[in-house]
């Protein structure tokens, strides 16, 4: 916060973090004619974006959606996101994100050279093959299928399995040599002028202090804080010890250095928790129950909704009750352990010929599972789930013998967690203070900010809003927005 007499580096726009949001910001800032410097802690670009599935949340009628035979509209996408990302979803951000989603798709394809294969994959999670299109937020399940026409909106770049590395490769290629890069440099604090304007940043490189003057602004795209256990304990204690979605660099440094400069934080307790009961999809014929033998959610919804409900609503005390058809009960399967793809092999921990016997062996209160199964099976004969509204295609009576798969937090099944909250920004990517006013010279995007997702999430929103609002922050800082 003091005057710095001599700057190590002088630039128009300084970007802290070289993931997808930083890359997108740099592409736009350089296009607008601004001298641009990207700084990253690592030895090269990529960040957590490069480790991700690569799925991007896009819709409103993209060429891929149309080629796969799905109708979509900006209105349906907007209505869905406001419902799925709430409560308190940022309607202004969602509106502009949806309205420009097809144009964002074109930018990815035409400006950046990202390729998408127009094939639909019906599996939830990352398409194992090269297919682009898949469901990523429970659009086609209760309750969201009641409020908006469902359409798949996950767009994965064309490669097998994870595609985040490929997306980053294309973004870095599109940027070319237009921006300067400073790697192995940990930015530690912002420099604020006497008039309150952010005028630069101070970092450390191989033990030496580096001062960067940014004449037009600093853009923070430094990731979330899932790697910072102290911040997790402070803002989301239930998540401490859960499996982390993100890299070591997601330490909250971008959020904290902006706070020290007066920035407000928003939805800082918001978290996505993923608990996958599929693949195989047949497990959706089973029923999820808590330790009291009660159902608590429709099993066919987005795995982020399942995980959040399991951890926050049920204290991580949940089980899947299955039968022969929904699982293929086989006691010879190994105990829970991650396989090479990071997926999880689970096994049936208890099997019994009646609900009552299963209660006894698995430790549910006497009569509890029996009551739940009786009620479920009675309506399932008519293809109905009257309490939790699972889609009829996954509803049929469960037939003894029954099995229980242990999905408790304590069982070792991963509860993958991702922080969603961060700096409070507007649709120009400007960082706001506690009074809601923009802090001059300070911008941010990606998981350093609270973005499209408030308290609910869909896969693909972090790459999605990271690039979209990264571009806007790059334009705004460079003066072209």
Residues at the site binding a second copy, with contacts judged by CB under 8 A = 1-2, 86-88, 194, 230, 233-235, 237-238, 240, 256, 259-260, 262, 264-269, 292-295, 312-313, 365-368, 371-372, 374-375, 378-379, 386-388, 424, 433-434, 436, 454-455
**Residue ranges of E strands in 89-242:** 117-120, 131-134, 154-155, 180-182, 185-192, 198-205, 208-220
Would you say 53 and 157 are in contact if contact means Cβ atoms under 8 Å apart? no
Shorter beta-carbon distance to a second copy: residue 35 or 299? 299
Nearest Cα residue to 244 out of 216, 258, 223 = 223
Shorter beta-carbon distance to a second copy: residue 174 or 321? 321
Residue 48, classed as helix, strand or coil, is helix
Length of the chain: 481
Residue 436: is it exposed, middle or buried by C-beta count within 10 angstroms (0-12/13-18/19+)?
Answer: exposed
How far is Cα of residue 445 from the mean position of the Cα atoms in its chain? 14
How far is Cα of residue 341 from the mean position of the Cα atoms in its chain? 19
Shorter beta-carbon distance to a second copy: residue 88 or 122? 88
Closest approach of a second copy to the CB of residue 175, in Å: 32
Asked if the peptide bond before residue 401 counts as cis, ω within 30 degrees of 0, the response is: yes
Shorter beta-carbon distance to a second copy: residue 240 or 335? 240
Shorter beta-carbon distance to a second copy: residue 119 or 384? 384
Would you say 394 and 283 are in contact if contact means Cβ atoms under 8 Å apart? no
Closest approach of a second copy to the CB of residue 85, in Å: 11
Q: Which helix (H) or strand (E) holds 81?
A: helix 74-84
User: b/e string for 306-343 if b means 16 or more Cβ within 10 A?
Assistant: bbbbbbeebebebbbbbbeebbebeeeeeebeeeeeee
How far is Cα of residue 48 from the mean position of the Cα atoms in its chain? 11
Closest approach of a second copy to the CB of residue 299, in Å: 14
Nearest Cα residue to 109 out of 171, 161, 160, 189 = 171
Shorter beta-carbon distance to a second copy: residue 105 or 402? 402
Asked if the peptide bond before residue 143 counts as cis, ω within 30 degrees of 0, the response is: yes
**How far from 471 is each of 24, 94, 188, 467, 481, CA to CA, in Å?**
5, 15, 24, 6, 10
Closest approach of a second copy to the CB of residue 309, in Å: 9
Residue 215: is it exposed, middle or buried by C-beta count within 10 angstroms (0-12/13-18/19+)?
Answer: middle
Residue 171: is it exposed, middle or buried by C-beta count within 10 angstroms (0-12/13-18/19+)?
Answer: buried
Closest approach of a second copy to the CB of residue 322, in Å: 21
Closest approach of a second copy to the CB of residue 119, in Å: 38
| CA max distance for the chain | 79
Shorter beta-carbon distance to a second copy: residue 371 or 399? 371
Shorter beta-carbon distance to a second copy: residue 243 or 269? 269
Shorter beta-carbon distance to a second copy: residue 13 or 395? 395
How far apart CA 128 and CA 288 sit, in angstroms, is 25
User: b/e string for 93-122 if b means 16 or more Cβ within 10 A?
Assistant: bbeebbebbbebbebbbebbebebbbbbbe
Shorter beta-carbon distance to a second copy: residue 183 or 312? 312
Closest approach of a second copy to the CB of residue 210, in Å: 20
Shorter beta-carbon distance to a second copy: residue 90 or 169? 90
State the DSSP string of 284-317. Answer: GGSEEEETTS-B-S-TTS-HHHHHHIIIIIHTT-
Closest approach of a second copy to the CB of residue 143, in Å: 11
Closest approach of a second copy to the CB of residue 294, in Å: 5
Closest approach of a second copy to the CB of residue 264, in Å: 8
Shorter beta-carbon distance to a second copy: residue 173 or 363? 363
Closest approach of a second copy to the CB of residue 386, in Å: 4
Closest approach of a second copy to the CB of residue 239, in Å: 10
């Amino acid at each position: 916060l003091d005057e710095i007499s001599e700057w190590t580096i002088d630039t128009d726009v300084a970007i802290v973090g070289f993931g997808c949001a930083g890359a997108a910001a740099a592409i736009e800032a350089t296009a607008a004619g601004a001298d641009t410097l990207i700084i990253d802690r690592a030895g090269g670009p990529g960040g957590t974006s490069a480790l991700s599935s690569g799925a991007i949340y896009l819709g409103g009628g993209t060429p891929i959606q149309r080629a796969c035979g799905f109708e979509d509209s900006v209105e349906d996408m907007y209505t869905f996101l406001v419902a799925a990302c709430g409560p308190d979803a940022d309607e202004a951000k969602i509106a502009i994100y949806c309205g420009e989603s097809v144009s964002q798709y074109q930018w990815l394809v035409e400006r950046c050279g990202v390729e998408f294969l127009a094939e639909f994959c019906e599996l939830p999670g990352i398409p194992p093959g090269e297919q682009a299109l898949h469901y990523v937020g429970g659009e086609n399940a209760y309750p969201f299928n009641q409020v908006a026409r469902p359409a798949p909106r996950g767009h994965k770049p064309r490669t097998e399995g994870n595609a985040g590395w490929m997306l980053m490769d294309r973004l870095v290629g599109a940027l070319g040599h237009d921006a300067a890069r400073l790697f192995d440099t940990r930015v530690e604090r912002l420099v604020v002028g006497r008039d309150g304007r952010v005028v630069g940043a101070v970092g450390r490189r191989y033990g030496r202090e580096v001062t960067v003057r940014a004449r037009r602004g600093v853009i923070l795209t430094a990731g979330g804080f899932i790697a910072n256990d102290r911040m997790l304990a402070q803002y989301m204690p239930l998540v401490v010890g859960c499996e982390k979605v993100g890299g070591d660099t997601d330490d909250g440094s971008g959020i904290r250095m902006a706070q020290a400069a007066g920035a407000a934080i928003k939805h800082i307790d918001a978290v996505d928790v993923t608990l996958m009961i599929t693949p195989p999809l047949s497990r959706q014929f089973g029923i999820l129950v808590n330790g009291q033998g009660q159902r608590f959610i429709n099993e066919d919804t987005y795995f982020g909704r399942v995980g959040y409900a399991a951890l926050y609503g049920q204290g991580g005390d949940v089980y899947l009750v299955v039968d022969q058809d929904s699982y293929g009960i086989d006691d010879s399967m190994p105990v829970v352990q991650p396989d090479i793809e990071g997926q999880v092999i689970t096994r049936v921990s208890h099997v019994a010929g009646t609900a009552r016997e299963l209660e006894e062996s698995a430790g549910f209160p006497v009569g509890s599972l029996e009551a739940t199964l009786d009620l479920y099976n009675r309506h399932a004969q008519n293809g109905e789930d009257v309490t939790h509204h699972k889609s009829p295609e996954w509803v049929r009576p469960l037939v003894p013998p029954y099995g229980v798969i242990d999905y408790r937090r304590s069982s070792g099944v991963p509860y993958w967690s991702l922080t969603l909250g961060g700096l409070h920004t507007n649709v120009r990517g400007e960082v706001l203070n506690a009074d809601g006013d923009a802090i001059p010279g300070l911008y941010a995007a990606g998981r350093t900010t609270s973005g499209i997702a408030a308290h609910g999430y869909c896969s693909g929103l972090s790459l999605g809003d990271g690039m979209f609002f990264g571009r806007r922050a790059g334009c705004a800082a460079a003066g072209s927005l």
